[in-house]
Amino acid sequence: MRQNRLSMLQENQLVSEYSSCSNDELVKKYKISKTQFRNICKRKKLKTKNISSILSKKKELNELDGICGIYGIVNFSCTKIYIGSSVNIKKRIQAHTRDSMFFTQDDHYVILIEECGEGSLLDRESHYLSLFDKSCYYNQTFQNAIPDYNAIFSKIKEGLKIKNCGCWEYKNIPKAGGYIWVSYNGKIYQSHRISFFANKYYTNSHINHLCRNKKCCNPDHLEETTASKNTEYYHLQRNILERSRLFEHIDFIQKSLVDRKTMSYIANTLGISVSAVSRYVQLMLREGVLFKNETGYYVVTPLASASSP
Length of the chain: 309
Terminal-to-terminal C-alpha distance of the chain? 101
Give the whole-angstrom CA distance, residue 167 versus residue 160: 10
By the 8 A CB rule, do 301 and 289 touch?
yes
* Residue 306 CA from chain centroid, whole number: 52
Output the pLDDT for position 219: 92
Give the whole-angstrom CA distance, residue 97 versus residue 64: 15
Q: CATH assignment of 245-307?
A: 1.10.10.10
By the 8 A CB rule, do 215 and 169 touch?
yes
DSSP-assigned letters across all residues of 187-201? EEEEHHHHHHHHHT-
Fill in the DSSP letter of residue 263.
Answer: H
For the chain, percent of residues with pLDDT exceeding 70: 83
Q: Label residue 70 exposed, middle or buried (CB < 10 Å: 0-12, 13-18, 19+).
A: buried
Task: Work out whether strand 81-86 and strand 69-75 pair parallel, antiparallel, or are unpaired.
Answer: antiparallel
Q: Tens of pLDDT along the chain (309 residues)?
A: 456 788 888 888 888 888 778 788 888 888 888 888 888 888 888 888 888 888 888 888 889 998 989 999 888 877 888 888 888 898 888 877 765 545 666 678 899 999 988 777 777 888 888 888 888 888 764 444 456 888 899 999 988 888 888 889 998 888 766 788 888 876 778 899 999 989 988 777 788 888 778 889 999 999 888 777 777 776 766 676 667 767 777 788 888 888 888 888 888 887 777 887 888 788 777 777 777 777 766 776 654 443 444
Give the whole-angstrom CA distance, residue 226 versus residue 119: 6
Output the pLDDT for position 41: 86
Max Cα separation, the chain? 105
3-state secondary structure of 112: strand
pTM for the structure as a whole: 0.45
3-state secondary structure of 304: helix
Helix axes 8-17, 23-30, angle to 10 degrees: 150
Return the bridge partners of 82, or none.
Answer: 73
* Fold (topology level) of 52-143: GIY-YIG endonuclease (3.40.1440)
Give the whole-angstrom CA distance, residue 141 versus residue 259: 54
